[in-house]
Amino acid sequence: MKLSRTFAVTKRVLRDLKNDRRQLALIFIAPLLVISIFGVAFTGTVKDVRVVVVNGDTAPARSSLSDKIISNFDTNVVNVAYANSESDAVGQVQNGSATAVIVFPPHFTQSVMAQASGHTSVAPGNRTIQVLADKSNPNVSDPIIGVVNSAVAHTIQGLGRQAPVSVDASNAIYGAHAQFIDFFAPGIICIAVWQLTTLLTLIAFVGERTSGTLLRLLASPLEESELVAGYAAAFGIIGTAQSVLLLTVAVALFNVTIVGNVLLAFVVIALLAIVSEGLGILLSSLARREAQAVQFLPIVVLPAFLLSGIFWPIQAIPEWLRPVSYLLPPTYAVDAVRSVIVRGWGLDRIYPDVVALFIFASVFLGLAVVLLRRRE
């Protein structure tokens, strides 16, 4: 393999891109649009949601724990109203005038304080705050649960001792996150790189086949491995550039916090881009025209979009479907990038994902070279 010829291919691919404004727009503006739409749609810009409190707590106002918690609600997010009965409150949610009902059980303060001071002899009363939310839109209900949770935490902190209050919001996976975007931004970046790189390689390679350039190249001193590697380098660069841009936007506009080493995240994304490039070349041998190539798009995009853990963890996917997730390269990239960005993990903890991506890359690129080398 000769480096100069490999880079000739890389430069060629990048030049092609530079000359094609539409493709440049596709590469950089489309994912930006996607992350912005998702960002706006999913971030905690939930404001002034009307919640109805049904306070069954009978403790006097001065010592009432429930009143303290209610006063700690984030009034930017929720707009508190009161109702006397649960059925009345639920009615308000049903007719759409409110989004959630928050129920404090009778003797709430008494039960909590008794438990907190160790009077276990007292029968354990109900210490659970119920949140009955209109969950048709979890992006509104989740922040409400978040508000209740943080108000409880804040109140207990003010009490200065442990108090066993529980909030019944079984959907607690993201409930604590008002900022859902922290969870899915890494996923969106990976999926954008995966989808666009596969699509661009596919189109570029079908072009190489139909325009005859591939014939000319195969009849030239350029080796098949140099061609594949040249493309890989080009798309590695493009994928990294895309992710830099996307991550910048995520940080600047949506306050995504990067905990870990961002360079490690870029390395993972470049690796994913190379995997996608290999897949694109493989798929190109199945398509005769560019129009046919585009038809592969749903096959490449949809399963990864739904099953690679962008919006919910793999564990939330039905068990029988999970093997499909593990066959999708983006699954590993999403997991690795999210772990680096959100959890601050290093290579020592994400290496299984990196190894998986390496295996995918070797298999796809290897097959691509074999396929190109094959002479009828």
| Contacting residues toward another protein, per CB under 8 A | 2, 4-5, 8-9, 11-12, 15-16, 19-20, 210-213, 215-223, 375-376
The conformation of residue 103, written as its DSSP 8-state character, comes to: E
Q: Shortest approach of another protein to residue 204 CB, angstroms? A: 9
Q: Shortest approach of another protein to residue 18 CB, angstroms? A: 9
Identity at 265, one-letter amino acid code: A
Q: What is the C-alpha to C-alpha distance for residues 34 and 28, in angstroms, rounded to an integer? A: 11
Q: Shortest approach of another protein to residue 361 CB, angstroms? A: 24
Nearer Cβ to another protein (2/289):
2
Nearer Cβ to another protein (68/209):
209
Locate all alpha helices (DSSP H) within the chain, ordered by sequence. Answer: 3-19, 21-42, 65-71, 86-94, 108-116, 138-159, 180-211, 213-218, 224-254, 262-284, 290-295, 297-307, 322-326, 329-338, 347-373
Locate all alpha helices (DSSP H) within 21-137, ordered by sequence. Answer: 21-42, 65-71, 86-94, 108-116
Q: Shortest approach of another protein to residue 237 CB, angstroms? A: 17
Nearer Cβ to another protein (187/230):
230
Number of alpha carbons in the 13 Å side-chain half-sphere of residue 16? 18
Q: Shortest approach of another protein to residue 219 CB, angstroms? A: 4
Nearer Cβ to another protein (2/343):
2
Nearer Cβ to another protein (63/211):
211
Q: What is the C-alpha to C-alpha distance for residues 355 and 181, in angstroms, rounded to an integer? A: 27
Nearer Cβ to another protein (222/363):
222
Q: Shortest approach of another protein to residue 331 CB, angstroms? A: 33
Nearer Cβ to another protein (34/203):
203
CB 175 within 8 A of CB 146: yes
246's CB contacts (< 8 A; 6+ apart) are: 31, 32, 35, 185, 188, 189, 192
Tokens of 141: 């209900």
CB 104 within 8 A of CB 148: no
Q: Shortest approach of another protein to residue 9 CB, angstroms? A: 8
